[in-house]
Amino acid sequence: MSVRVVARIRPLLKHELDRDTIVTAESPDGENAATSTVVRIPNPRNDAESFSFQFNSVYEQDASQQQIFDSEVSSTVKHLFNGFDTTIFAYGVTGTGKTWSMRGGKSLADRGIIPRMLSAIYRRCRKIEKDTAGATQVEVALSYYEIYCDRVYDLFEPPEKRTPSGLPIRDNNGKTVVVGLTEKPCTTLKEFEQLYDQANINRSTSATKLNAHSSRSHAVLCVKLTQTTETTVRISKASAIDLAGSEDNRRTDNNKERLIESASINKSLFVLAQCVEAISKKQNRIPYRESKMTRILSLGQNNGLTLMILNLAPVRSYHLDTLSSLNFANRTKKIETCEIENEPVLRTAIKPIAATASIGGANIARQPLRPLTAAHNVNLQDRDTERKPGGKPVKAFSVYSDSRSSTSRVSSNVPSQNQGIRRIDTHKRSAEPTSAIGTRPAKMRPGENTSRFRSQAAAEPLMSKESIEALIARRIDEKLAEKALQDASATAPALSAELQKRLDDLEHRIETKEEDGKAQGLQFLLMAKQHQVRGEDSSALRMYQLALPFFQGNEKLKTKMRNLEERIRAKRDIETSASNSTLLPGHLPPALDRMAPLGKEKKKKKKHKMIYRDDSEEDDEFAPAAESDHDVSYASDSSFRYGPKAARSSKKVARKLPIFRDATILPGEQTPRTKHLLSIINSRDISRIKALKGVGAKKADAIVGCLVEMEDDEVRDLESLALLKGVGGKTVENMRMGLADISF
Ligand SMILES: Nc1ncnc2c1ncn2[C@@H]1O[C@H](COP(=O)(O)OP(=O)(O)OP(=O)(O)O)[C@@H](O)[C@H]1O
């Protein structure tokens, strides 16, 4: 089953009442239908055209909290009680209503998904206990934490108790765990409300220009449900995640502290987008490890149901951000998850029910998002036929080290301290190589060993010294097998020894500098280098930009960025000049080409037209270009392509750089005329650019197109100006000459 994606368009806020609403909900056939499933938004370059994105549901501005809960969430509560894990996360730009959707307001009507979900859970608990006359007991336990500046803090602890470096997270037998997290049993809704309200006071929020109560962290609430009958125990878990919103810092006017938070938020969302893209492209390496949020979220998307609430602001000022979010959501909706319930485990007679209170917790084994082909409950027949001759199942891809001991994983929600509990037959993942260790016993977790030993000792008091030694030997074998598989599944591209060493050194510096503020910056540097190694220059540049605030005044970094910019620009120039030679006059510039074939269609039909996106469409074909500063869809260089593929592979033509120099001016300095010309260009004002000598409407449009693709970067000199698409040295000279009449 795929991730369910529903979009929610928030109402206009007080200060937006006079603003232009550009995001609308529609039914797929354009007619009035009970439920909308399409979001329509104009093309930012041409209002007459529009893009449409199809999701599972779309909620209009007037949708109430009750409506969202009833239609989207209440069924997941039912599934939770049937043993399915559920993950609900809110995604969107800052100020689009994520916290409103998840937490909501104080009044009954305004309560968001989380309090309503807890209310439904407690209601069902009571019903089950009543229906079974107390034979089934249901316990609820909560953990709640935030990921702030890539550090994990327990929200059930007051801020003064925090250690600056936060709680460590560890890969533990194939699962990511937050070490030292509080898990609070919580028996009533009232108790929940108190805990939740108190914890939310501990959450990091601040006023920004775009949101007076902006969440500066990702908040993860885990609700663990333990259903105990006389003979079985079943654990399932609901994760409700309020992600921090991406921010365009050109619009926030953030101060340094907010900027650093913002950089961290944007980075993690960027990594999330990369993960989603890598999954949807079935890539070998899913970069979960590049941010704590993605490491943790990967475990939240496990064996169960995943619901993404895409929050959207309806107004034009969010235009590019909204497109970016829509693109991300469009990719996310294609991700398949495993819909498998957690099996009940048998209780032995030796322990009372109360012993199950400490079962599971944050240490429940998780499995990251993956395509359906890697799911173990899908096409069971095919699975056998797909097996390799050696008996190993075919793996669609291996997940980069986060799930390093997937081989040893058994039923997902096996209690971590299963005193008195013995597992009954569980599903076995098709992705689990079974040949080496298929028959070995269930894996123990730290903390579990002793308890298991203890319970086994209690159950089998006559266990001999030999059998204990055999057990230990078997454990060692398991570990070695695990390690061997882990090594074999490493899929990172081969790097030169020297480069690898440099990356390792950087990683080491990040780990050891966790305490000082530069760790975050170093992480950006590391990611930049990793992107560069993979040839993803645009993503690398983006990471260097994020690192810059941490290394103010670092000339080496600036030079590096400049060089990279040059390289990107040169690459683009080669591509565009190659593509120019293949494009017919009248065709759209490459960026527009990429944005929507709709543009071309329209020219022929001269008719307002919608594009409906469905799963059969390729992203690259229809996705509008990513343009905003924090655009998470810069997930890979393929989404940052500057021309048709064919053109890219054509022979590279080195373009000769024109040299412009005023005789009276020192190298590096600029005349007032040059400055004036560059200021006109950088204004991106098409009418001013068109008014320059030798620049017609088409050229001006192409120039603005290039500038938009440069995001917040500017044309800094005449050489760079001459390198823009369709410009050249002669045009620059004309432009300058045209300004000669103006006295400077
Ligand atoms: N459906 C809605 N109905 C009424 N008010 C809403 C709705 N959605 C959002 N709002 C209001 O919009 C503002 C921003 O919402 P909210 O704080 O939830 O955004 P956010 O996406 O969580 O932002 P951030 O990422 O900065 O935390 C708040 O004042 C909130 O009350």
Compute the distance between CA of residue 731 and CA of residue 719 in angstroms, rounded to an integer. Answer: 12
Domain range for 633 is 497-604+615-649
CA of 13 to the centre of ligand 1 (A): 9
Q: What's the pLDDT at 222?
A: 93
**Amino acid present at 333:** K
- 94 annotated ligand-binding residue: yes
CA of 249 to the centre of ligand 1 (A): 18
Residues 637 and 678 in one domain: no
Residue 68 lies in a domain: no
CATH number at residue 697: 1.10.150.280
- pLDDT band for 241, please (50, 70, 90 cuts): very high
Average pLDDT, the chain: 68
Residue 716 lies in a domain: yes
- 695 annotated ligand-binding residue: no
Compute the distance between CA of residue 426 and CA of residue 345 in angstroms, rounded to an integer. Answer: 9
**E-only strand ranges, 229-332:** 232-242, 304-312
CA of 8 to the centre of ligand 1 (A): 11
User: Among the atoms of ligand 1, which is closest to the Cα of residue 245?
Assistant: 25
Q: What's the pLDDT at 584?
A: 34
Mutate to test the pocket of ligand 1, among 100, 205, 252 (most ligand atoms within 8 A of CB): 100
CA of 204 to the centre of ligand 1 (A): 16
Residues 623 and 696 in one domain: no
Q: What's the pLDDT at 534?
A: 63
Compute the distance between CA of residue 16 and CA of residue 421 in angstroms, rounded to an integer. Answer: 57
- 450 annotated ligand-binding residue: no
The predicted model gives 230-247 an average pLDDT of 87
User: Among the atoms of ligand 1, which is closest to the Cα of residue 243?
Assistant: 25
Residue 524 lies in a domain: yes
CB under 8 Å to 737, separation ≥6 — which residues? Answer: 693
Residue nearest to atom 11 of ligand 1 (CA): 97
Helices 555-582 and 537-547 meet at what angle, rounded to 10?
Answer: 150
The predicted model gives 487-492 an average pLDDT of 40
Pocket-forming residues, ligand 1, beta carbon under 6 Å? 10-11, 13, 92, 94-100, 211, 213-215, 244-245, 311
- pLDDT band for 519, please (50, 70, 90 cuts): low
- 99 annotated ligand-binding residue: yes
Residue 712 lies in a domain: yes
Q: What's the pLDDT at 371?
A: 36
- 438 annotated ligand-binding residue: no
CA of 23 to the centre of ligand 1 (A): 16
Q: What's the pLDDT at 350?
A: 41
**Which pLDDT tens digit goes with each residue over 147-159?**
888 889 999 988 8
CA of 98 to the centre of ligand 1 (A): 6
Percent of the chain surpassing pLDDT 70: 55
**CA-based angle 207:213:219, to the nearest 5?**
120
- 184 annotated ligand-binding residue: no
Residue 297 lies in a domain: no
Q: What's the pLDDT at 510?
A: 56
Residue 268 lies in a domain: no
CA of 59 to the centre of ligand 1 (A): 15
**Which pLDDT tens digit goes with each residue over 285-340?**
778 888 888 888 764 455 678 899 999 999 998 898 899 899 988 888 888 776 66
- 434 annotated ligand-binding residue: no
The predicted model gives 654-681 an average pLDDT of 65
Mutate to test the pocket of ligand 1, among 6, 10, 630 (most ligand atoms within 8 A of CB): 10
Please give the residue that has the higher pLDDT: either 405 or 709: 709
- Asked if 248 contacts 96 with a C-beta cutoff of 8 angstroms, the reply is no
Residue nearest to atom 23 of ligand 1 (CA): 95
Q: What's the pLDDT at 639?
A: 27
Looking at 180-194, 264-278, 610-624, 693-707, which range is the least confident one?
610-624
**Residue 709 clears pLDDT 50, i.e. is over it:** yes
Residues 708 and 567 in one domain: no
- The per-residue DSSP string of 637-693 comes to GGGG--S-HHHHHSPP-PPPPP----TTS-TT---HHHHHHHHHHHTT-HHHHHTST
Distance, C-alpha 442 to centroid of its chain? 32
Residues 730 and 597 in one domain: no
Please give the residue that has the higher pLDDT: either 59 or 704: 59
- For residue 25, give the nearest of 332, 326, 334 by alpha carbon: 326
What's the total number of domains in the chain?
2
Residue 714 lies in a domain: yes
Compute the distance between CA of residue 239 and CA of residue 250 in angstroms, rounded to an integer. Answer: 33
**Which pLDDT tens digit goes with each residue over 448-488?**
333 333 333 333 445 566 666 666 766 665 565 455 444 43
HEC per residue, 581-623: HHCCCCCCCHHHHHHCCHHHHHHHHCCCCCCCCCCCCCHHHHC
Residues 620 and 565 in one domain: yes
Residues 713 and 625 in one domain: no
ipTM summary value: 0.98
